[in-house]
Structure 1
Amino acid sequence: MTDTPRQVGGRIAARRHARRMTQADLSRASFVSLSMIRGIERGVRSPSDKTLDSLAAALDVDPSRLVNGNSRTSGRVHSALPHISAAIAGYDVPDVPAPRSLPELSSAVNDALTWRLNAQYSRLAVQAPALLGDALRALHTATGHRRKEAAQLLASAARAADAVAYKFGAYDLSARLVELMRWACTRAGDPLLNATTAYVRTETFLAARSYATGLRALEAAIDAAPSPKEPRSIAARGALHMRAAVVAGRAGDETAADTHLAEAEPLAALVPEGIYNGTAFGPSSLRIHQVSVAVSLGTARVSWALDVAREWKPPRDLPSERRSSFYIELARAQVWAGLMDDAFESLKVARRAAPQHTREHPWAREDTATLRRLKRADAEELTAFAEWIGAV
């Protein structure tokens, strides 16, 4: 269901107030005229996609938080995918020097990391082509230790772009971005980056449903990973075990899934929850993966997933994408258990945490369709949700 201009304007005004900005402050930060902002907030003017992007950036929020309509944010992402593809087409062909210095490029990559972790895919998609192009130029023109730094930045930029490609179903482009990460790894000389790349590469096997092969690849990466002696190496190995547990669950290998979770648990206890090597890891991430593994193993483990959820909820300081994943997977377990009202509530929480991630998640769409078919109460709200997520 498409938002009215008044609804969009109301969200912009609410976000502005939350950030304690005046309309004049927002005008200066977004480079949008004050009269335009006043008209948008009153609901008498509709922002163009470009204006919406500018306002969202100034408010430090993804455009999907301001507009609930499916076509606008998804359309921006899909229109950016060919530009991402073009940016990496000649990855091995040297180009002119990058217009950004390495410190500037590092700052931009860190922004992209934040957007990825918080599922701000449309912001990420718009910036990814230039970021990838500059990172490639930096690698080709850097020398000495700066070449390794540039290679690490390129790998991080490729991972950020891959999040967009994979979530929006561009699996061939996603696989190319993963291969670009692997190519960058050979020039970075960082074993922990190799482990991170192996973690991301799992998407290729998940997309192809080649679970057994993906599990073997992860186990080989675990064997090759540095010994877990300090936080980054502990987190790298722990994240690989968590990922392997999920893939083993998809493969129906209950023993392997339990084994990898058991290996991850003591590692998660050694470090505080945080972002290591671009990946969230720690006690909270482990609990989320316990639910994910339970759901991956099917209906036989439903009670396990529900038990975890009864005892624990993800804290708000976790990355939005990870919190959203927890509630999407919990909703699936609740559907299987016949807890339809609870499942719908979980999907709504997932949407509030990360709307773009929820809308593009196939399980969220499938479960919404199931709920709409089986649950007749609250039909109007459920139908509106189904229209938003594309389940009707």
Structure 2
Amino acid sequence: MVPDPMRDVGRNIAALRRMANMTQLELAAAAGVSYAMVRAVERGARHPSDDVLDAFAGALGVDPSRLLGHRGRTDSRVHDMVPRLSKAIAAYDLPEDGPVRPLHELRGAVAELVNWRVGAQYLRIARTAPLLLEELSRALVMDQREETEVARLLVSAYRAADAVAYKFGHRDLSARLVELMRWVAPMAVDPLLDAIVAYVRTETFFAARAHGPGLRALEQAVDAAPAPDDVPSKAARGSLHMRAAVISGRAGHADAAVAHLAEAHRLGDEVPEGVYQGTAFGPSSVRIHEVSVAVSLGDTHLRRALDIAHEWTPPRDIPAERRSGFCIEVARAQLWAGLRDDAFESLKEARRFAPQHTREHPWVREDVATLRRLKRADREDLSNFADWCHAV
């Protein structure tokens, strides 16, 4: 029987509504739609428009991709919005006239953007970031008295936009957004923010496979970072060591990777797990990066990645993108170790945590394609997964 997309969307909405302990009337009120609309959508009689779908997603606290299911074309909707993002930053220093909300409202809008980023809700960012970036650019030009605060908000907003550009393969746009972060960060006069910008800049080195220069840039950032005298400064420095460990592994520098990882562990043990300056850091985040380092180094180091995956899983309070990344790294270690069924299960787990992040990850496509070659390519579940992530 051919699946009915309308019925699938309705079932997903109904299931998530029940999980949220909401009635249909409560969902209608929270989404700003009629009760009749909720009933019709849930039973498959009507298919919601993009705006209504986003309203349901907002009311349920999930990304629209969760409502669309694995057949949803979230990726194409994100790509369609990239030109708007490019336009928003083209005249970053010469913004057009327009409204600017009070500073406390801008803080709330940026905080929401940051939450979407760590939750891998890229479609929401792509829809919201262009207008918000233009508004923040106007605020920066119009009110010099609030320059430091607006600059801080702009860094966070550029970073959220960069997550969309980088994850969806728009690497030139990503590099441009990173450079804008570097341009505006000094206006915030915050050394901790400078450290986070250095952390994000590593993406450009990963994309270019310039691991040696990337490691040097991170080590310079570590030297320039504030002394780790309090929780925020420990988190900032620890995040840099965590990132340096991974890029050392990619460069094949095992000794450097081990040294940076040891520093990250030491600092991670001194702070509670949390999101600091937009970056998740703490004992669990460092452990996740330990898996990434082991996979990057390969060979005899893979055993460590498998051992961690066997004895530990990321807590539920870890951001969705990071949990998904952990499963993707583990899947690669399992695949290389010949544990093909385990690798596929890990990839499915990554999809459950953060579908958009998993779908756009190049390793997922590579590993699923490999699994189809090694296993029966006509296996329906594997073929469906490969079609979903564009591995075929």
Aligned residues: 391
User: Once the 2 structures are TM-superposed, how far is the Cα of residue 69 of structure 1 from its aligned partner?
Assistant: 4.4
3-state SS of paired residue (2:144): coil
Q: For residues 189-218 of structure 1, what are the alpha-carbon distances to aligned partners after superposition, in whole Å with 9 as ceiling and x for unaligned?
A: 100110000000000111111111111111
Residue 132 of structure 1: aligned partner: 133
Residues of 1 paired with 2:73 and 2:101: CA distance?
Answer: 30
Residue 32 of structure 1: aligned partner: 33
Write the letter of the residue equivalent to 2:363. W
Residue 18 of structure 2: aligned partner: 17
1:347 pairs with 2:347: yes
Residue 253 of structure 1: aligned partner: 253
Mapped contact 1:2–1:69 kept (Cα < 8 A): no
1:309 pairs with 2:305: no
Residue 184 of structure 1: aligned partner: 184
Deviates more, 1:85-94 or 1:374-383: 374-383
Q: Gaps spanning 5+ residues in structure 2: where?
A: none
Residue 101 of structure 1: aligned partner: 102
User: Once the 2 structures are TM-superposed, how far is the Cα of residue 95 of structure 1 from its aligned partner?
Assistant: 4.3
3-state SS of paired residue (2:68): coil
Residue 52 of structure 1: aligned partner: 53
Residues of 2 paired with 1:2 and 1:63: CA distance?
Answer: 19
Residue 388 of structure 2: aligned partner: 388
User: Once the 2 structures are TM-superposed, how far is the Cα of residue 50 of structure 1 from its aligned partner?
Assistant: 2.4
Displaced runs of 4 or more, over 3 A: 94-98
Mapped contact 1:98–1:138 kept (Cα < 8 A): no
Write out aligned runs for 1:270-285 (5 A).
270-285=270-285
Mapped contact 2:377–2:383 kept (Cα < 8 A): no
Residues of 1 paired with 2:15 and 2:301: CA distance?
Answer: 42
1:369 pairs with 2:369: yes
Identity rate of aligned residues, in percent?
Answer: 62
Mapped contact 1:158–1:177 kept (Cα < 8 A): yes
Residue 330 of structure 2: aligned partner: 330
Residues of 1 paired with 2:360 and 2:324: CA distance?
Answer: 12
User: Once the 2 structures are TM-superposed, how far is the Cα of residue 165 of structure 1 from its aligned partner?
Assistant: 0.6
User: Once the 2 structures are TM-superposed, how far is the Cα of residue 335 of structure 1 from its aligned partner?
Assistant: 0.1
Residue 160 of structure 1: aligned partner: 160
Mapped contact 2:25–2:35 kept (Cα < 8 A): yes
3-state SS of paired residue (2:293): helix
Residues of 1 paired with 2:33 and 2:309: CA distance?
Answer: 44
Write the letter of the residue equivalent to 2:324. S
Deviates more, 1:85-94 or 1:236-245: 85-94
Residues of 2 paired with 1:137 and 1:86: CA distance?
Answer: 14
3-state SS of paired residue (1:77): helix
Residues of 1 paired with 2:224 and 2:284: CA distance?
Answer: 26
Residue 151 of structure 2: aligned partner: 151
Cα distance change of structure 1 residues 154 and 3 upon mapping to structure 2, 3 Å threshold: farther
Q: TM-score, normalised by structure 1?
A: 0.96
Q: TM-score, normalised by structure 2?
A: 0.96
Residues of 1 paired with 2:80 and 2:352: CA distance?
Answer: 25
Residues of 2 paired with 1:391 and 1:2: CA distance?
Answer: 21
Residues of 1 paired with 2:142 and 2:343: CA distance?
Answer: 52
Residues of 1 paired with 2:343 and 2:118: CA distance?
Answer: 24
Write the letter of the residue equivalent to 1:302. L
Residues of 2 paired with 1:150 and 1:321: CA distance?
Answer: 26
Residue 122 of structure 1: aligned partner: 123
Residues of 1 paired with 2:233 and 2:75: CA distance?
Answer: 36
User: Once the 2 structures are TM-superposed, how far is the Cα of residue 24 of structure 1 from its aligned partner?
Assistant: 2.3
Mapped contact 2:9–2:67 kept (Cα < 8 A): yes
3-state SS of paired residue (1:32): coil
Residues of 1 paired with 2:87 and 2:319: CA distance?
Answer: 30
Write the letter of the residue equivalent to 1:229. D
Residues of 1 paired with 2:189 and 2:98: CA distance?
Answer: 22
User: Once the 2 structures are TM-superposed, how far is the Cα of residue 163 of structure 1 from its aligned partner?
Assistant: 0.5
User: Once the 2 structures are TM-superposed, how far is the Cα of residue 376 of structure 1 from its aligned partner?
Assistant: 2.6
3-state SS of paired residue (1:272): coil
3-state SS of paired residue (1:68): helix
Cα distance change of structure 1 residues 181 and 129 upon mapping to structure 2, 3 Å threshold: same
1:77 pairs with 2:78: yes
